[in-house]
């Protein structure tokens, strides 16, 4: 009888040990349900703040576009200071291809590699100046053979403008087949300036570490 009682006690204790974790979990769920803890979720106030931020951004963009149109209209009006304005207005004196030009990371699916060309128009003081015109970029082999190219319209050139930590330039992407990456040796860019009618051209040899990444 004592042995039977002892065995029952052991089984009772073991089953208690096994049931304990489940009891803790169940208790936790109940407490969370009753408000002891809650899962963070966006509140109505959070959503309202996000909508207000997005609305303010849209308003700021519309105001900027309106100001730009007003400035363009004002520029069409006759001015007695035309000579001084022309003298002080920067125009493109040339273009250069930035050293960051090169390939993106290897695509595991074997898709064409992204090849980004960074073009910098500059004025007579070698300072960056925005361009209004068309732009052509080419990735070429050592013998001048064009491996990949891309042409940008006036509107596309404006959208390609970038200003960030690495500098200010126009970023143009082209796709190069993976099996021809090793053939790219230099880059060529041609900008047709619609403000002055001038044609600017630049070439650059690719650095070795920019050819294969």
- Is residue 134 within 8 A of residue 157, CB to CB? The reply is yes
Measure CA of the first residue to CA of the last residue in the chain; give whole Å.
79
* Cα–Cα distance list, 132 to 126, 128, 153 (Å): 17, 13, 10
- CA angle 54/57/58 to nearest 5° reads 90
Q: What is the pLDDT of residue 39?
A: 55
Q: In the chain, what are the domain boundaries?
A: 44-88, 94-211
Per the CB < 8 A criterion, the answer to whether 164 and 142 are in contact is no
Beta bridge partners of 188: 138, 203
pLDDT of the chain along its 213 residues, tens only? 444 444 445 444 444 444 445 454 454 554 455 555 555 667 888 888 888 888 888 888 888 778 777 666 666 666 667 778 778 889 999 999 999 999 877 767 766 778 999 999 999 999 999 999 999 999 999 998 999 999 999 999 999 999 999 899 999 999 888 888 889 999 999 999 999 999 999 999 986 554 544
Q: Give me the CATH code for the 94-211 domain, please.
A: 2.60.40.1940
**CA within 13 Å, CB half, 120:** 16
Give the model's pLDDT for residue 207.
65
């Amino acid at each position: 009888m004592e042995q039977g009682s002892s065995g029952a006690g052991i089984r009772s204790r073991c089953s208690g040990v096994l049931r304990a974790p489940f009891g803790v979990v169940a208790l936790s769920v109940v407490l969370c349900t009753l408000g002891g803890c809650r899962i963070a979720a966006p509140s109505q106030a959070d959503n309202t703040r996000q909508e207000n931020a997005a609305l303010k951004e849209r308003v700021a963009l519309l105001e900027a576009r309106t100001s730009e149109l007003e400035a363009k209209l004002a520029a069409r009006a006759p001015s007695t200071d035309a000579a001084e304005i022309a003298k002080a207005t920067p125009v493109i004196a040339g273009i250069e291809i930035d050293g960051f030009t090169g390939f993106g990371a290897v695509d595991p699916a074997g898709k064409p590699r992204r090849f980004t060309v960074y073009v910098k128009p500059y004025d007579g003081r070698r300072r960056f100046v925005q361009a209004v015109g068309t732009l052509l970029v080419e990735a070429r082999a050592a013998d001048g053979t064009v491996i990949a190219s891309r042409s940008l319209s006036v509107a596309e050139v404006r959208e390609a403008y970038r200003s960030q930590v690495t500098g200010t330039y126009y970023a143009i992407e082209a796709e190069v087949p993976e099996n021809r990456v090793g053939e790219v040796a230099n880059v060529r860019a041609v900008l047709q300036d619609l403000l002055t009618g001038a044609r600017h051209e630049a070439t650059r040899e690719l650095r070795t570490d920019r050819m294969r990444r």
